[in-house]
């Protein structure tokens, strides 16, 4: 018997938990799930509220688009109600500006935690902050109508919501630079070919495909998945010899655990 629990529902973000699967849903389809500082704080809160029993996190958006990116209200002089405008932030000290952006990033970073595997279920537009939110996840399942784009440079900005590192890791420096500097659309076929998408499916198949993948991820013992994710995440920053050593250490922990000898 499974039970669905609503853990959080605020500022355009809803977290529900069903057994070992947590689902984070962007809930403002009328604005194509446009993002704001309040939404980023709610995403960070969802990460903190995630029960320890959750092993897989699914990130999705209601409506026809995953997320059309930053709400354009951010670029008005007044910004969002009750929030410092971006102009106000720019007038602050270096430390305050850095701290503000770091806080925004916290809505994205928790999706990379070793104790969960995160899946972005992406349909329609994933623009700017929406593209970076999809990149924050470990895996991406996209529909045939998906359109990724990184539009920050066209606004005189840079992608700063943790998207640059995974983008370069997935598609390489040259293609990442071209995607970001031109702001062009990346559609489903290219996303699959370049590694941005793990799978491309018809829109009507998205939910079932994500459910099947989540089930497959849950089939392996949790600690083995955690250790494997940590090994793979750290591989690009290690030499071959350092990665060999990391593999040995991880396997030693697994063998001792399986033998009942773990601390």
Instruction: Return d(Cα 16, Cα 46) in angstroms, integer.
Output: 9
Mean pLDDT score, 134-149? 98
pLDDT of residue 88: 87
Domain ranges of the chain: 4-218, 222-258
Mean pLDDT score, 22-38? 97
Question: Does the CA dihedral 166-170-175-178 come out positive or negative?
Answer: negative
Instruction: Return d(Cα 62, Cα 123) in angstroms, integer.
Output: 9
Instruction: Return d(Cα 170, Cα 166) in angstroms, integer.
Output: 6
Question: Does the CA dihedral 89-14-203-19 come out positive or negative?
Answer: positive
- Binning pLDDT at 50, 70 and 90, where does residue 76 land? confident
Mean pLDDT score, 11-21? 97
User: In the CATH scheme, what is the homologous superfamily, with its name and number, of domain 4-218?
Assistant: 2-enoyl-CoA Hydratase; Chain A, domain 1 (3.90.226.10)
Mean pLDDT of the chain: 96
Of 54, 192, 200, 41, which Cα lies nearest the Cα of 118? 54
pTM attached to this predicted model: 0.95
pLDDT of residue 2: 67
Mean pLDDT score, 81-93? 88
**The pLDDT of residue 74 is above 90:** no
| pLDDT tens profile 182-210 | 999 999 999 999 999 999 999 999 999 99
pLDDT of residue 82: 86
Mean pLDDT score, 110-116? 97
Beta bridge mates, 4: 18
pLDDT of residue 83: 87
| pLDDT tens profile 226-246 | 999 999 999 999 999 999 999
| Pair of tokens at residue 205 | 């198949």
pLDDT of residue 1: 47
Instruction: Return d(Cα 67, Cα 160) in angstroms, integer.
Output: 16
Mean pLDDT score, 121-143? 98
Comparing 34-48, 77-91, 148-162, the range with the smallest average pLDDT is 77-91
| pLDDT tens profile 56-70 | 999 999 999 999 999
């Amino acid at each position: 018997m499974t039970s669905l629990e609503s853990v959080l529902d605020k500022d355009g973000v809803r977290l529900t938990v069903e057994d070992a699967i947590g689902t984070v849903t962007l809930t403002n389809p009328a604005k194509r799930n446009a993002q704001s500082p309040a939404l980023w704080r709610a995403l960070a809160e969802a990460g903190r509220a995630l029960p320890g029993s959750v092993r897989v996190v699914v990130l999705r958006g209601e409506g026809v688009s995953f997320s059309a990116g930053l709400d354009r209200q951010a670029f008005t002089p007044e910004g969002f109600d009750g929030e410092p405008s971006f102009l106000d932030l720019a007038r602050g000290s270096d430390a305050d500006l850095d701290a503000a952006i770091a806080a925004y990033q916290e809505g994205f970073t928790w999706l990379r935690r070793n104790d969960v595997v995160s899946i972005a279920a992406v349909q329609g537009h994933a623009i700017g902050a929406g593209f970076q939110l999809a990149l924050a996840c470990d895996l991406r399942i996209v529909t045939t109508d998906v359109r990724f784009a990184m539009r920050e440079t066209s606004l005189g900005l840079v992608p700063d919501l943790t998207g640059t590192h995974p983008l370069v890791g997935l598609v390489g420096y040259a293609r990442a630079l071209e995607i970001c500097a031109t702001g062009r659309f990346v559609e489903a076929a290219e996303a699959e070919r370049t590694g941005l998408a793990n799978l491309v499916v018809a829109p009507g198949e998205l939910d079932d495909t994500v459910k099947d993948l989540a089930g497959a991820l849950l089939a392996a013992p949790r600690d083995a998945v955690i250790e494997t994710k940590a090994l793979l995440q750290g591989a690009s920053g290690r030499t071959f010899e350092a990665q060999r050593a990391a593999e040995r250490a991880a396997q030693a922990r697994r063998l001792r655990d399986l033998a009942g000898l773990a601390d």
